[in-house]
Homo-oligomer: A and B are copies of this chain.
């Protein structure tokens, strides 16, 4: 095996370091974050650092980059208090990736990248119509990570919309049917194939 140390990493050429370090955490779901501002200018951005924080009450989090420059997603969440998380269908991974480009605020990534915004339920932020699992959240907390000024945005799940066939009788979401796209690093997209569902693990089974 090759050993790479902290001192190597900080001295790597920037793009090499970005590729390597972004890849360490492995595969993640690619979720589209939908937001809007008080002028109803919608924004859509792909995020891969989404975490489960709790089931009861239901909380989810996203890691947001430092906001030293203009960040439409962050500003919109702060302005309205709402955001949506939308699973990306496999067939639309290219469009989803395109939302990471720097568009002017007046240009909605929904329109620029080919997604349809939907306002529904009790959420000010737009959902992605093409997504078969759409989650509406309110901003519960904003936690600055002092190590590098990134931000953990904690959201409370206020409602969700799920294609009927995805939800089984036990509450499991059949993501294989949703065909949610995966991302590794910032640019490599994957699909997933089910291996197995295991029982709750016990020390003395």
Question: Measuring CB to CB, which residues of chain A are less than 8 angstroms from any residue of chain B?
Answer: 1-6, 9-10, 12, 14-29, 31, 48-61, 63, 85, 87, 90, 93-94, 97-104, 107, 112, 121, 132-135, 140-141, 143, 145-148, 150, 152, 154, 156-164, 167, 170-173, 175-176, 180-182, 184-203, 205
Contact = CB atoms under 8 A, between A and B. Distances in A.
Nearest to A49: B51
Q: Chain copies in the assembly?
A: 2
27 contacts: A1-B162, A2-B167, A3-B160, A3-B161, A4-B159, A4-B160, A5-B121, A12-B171, A17-B55, A20-B171, A20-B173, A21-B55, A21-B56, A24-B60, A24-B135, A24-B157, A27-B29, A28-B29, A49-B51, A61-B145, A102-B202, A141-B145, A145-B154, A187-B197, A188-B194, A191-B193, A193-B193
A141 B148 CA distance: 11
Given A6-B158, A54-B147, A161-B1, A188 B197 contact: yes
A164 B133 CA distance: 38
| Most B-side CB within 10 Å, residue of A60, A140, A187 | A187
